[in-house]
Structure 1
Amino acid sequence: MSSTPPLRSDEVRGMTARQPWAACILAGKDIENRTRPWRPGCFLLHAGQSLDRSALRDPLAARATRGRELVTGAVLGLVRATGCHQDPEGAKPCTL
C-alpha cells in the first residue's frame, strides 16, 4: 500500500525538467535534484523549451535517451515523487 496521499480532484501539480533529463526521469531515473523541497505525490512531467546540450555527454542521459525523440515544450507523462531531502549547504547534489 502506498503512503503517498492521493491527489484531490482539484489538485494538479507539475514539474518542469529540461531535456534530456525529462526523458531520463520517464526512463526510470530515481534521483532528481531540485532547488526547493517537494512533497511526495504525483506530478505531470513537463519538458522545458530548452535543451541541456552538455547533459547529452552524461553517460546516464546518453543511455536513457538513445533512440528517443527529445520532445520539448510539452507534458510527457505522470511521475510519482516518493521522497525529498535537502543537501547540506555547499554540498554537491545527491547522486545516490
Structure 2
Amino acid sequence: MKPGGDARLFDNDEPAYLAWVQSDPGGFVANMDRAGCVPQYPMVHRATHAVVSSPWIGNFTTGAYVKVCAGELEALEADLRSRYGRPVTRCRVCMR
C-alpha cells in the first residue's frame, strides 16, 4: 500500500487528472513543482478551487508541475510528507 492510502500521483496525464477532479469535488489536490525548489510546495487546495480544476488553465500535470490527489485531507497530507519529506502548505484562499 502506498503512503496515505488513497492518494494518487498525476504526472503527464491531464485527462486522468481532470477526470479525477470532476469525479471527486469534495477531494483535495496538492500542487508540487518537479524541481522541488518552491518553498511553499506541496500546496494543498480543495478540488473545486479553480486554480487546480479549471479545464481552461491546462498544464496541470505537465511542464513544471505534478499533482497528488486524495479524497481525504489527512490521507493526502500523510502521503505528501512521506513522498516529499517537506511541510505541507494549505491554500489561504480555499482552505480557510
Judge same fold: TM > 0.5, yes or no. Answer: no
| Higher gyration radius (CA) | 1
Higher helix share: 2
TM-score computed with the length of structure 1 as normaliser: 0.28
TM-score computed with the length of structure 2 as normaliser: 0.28
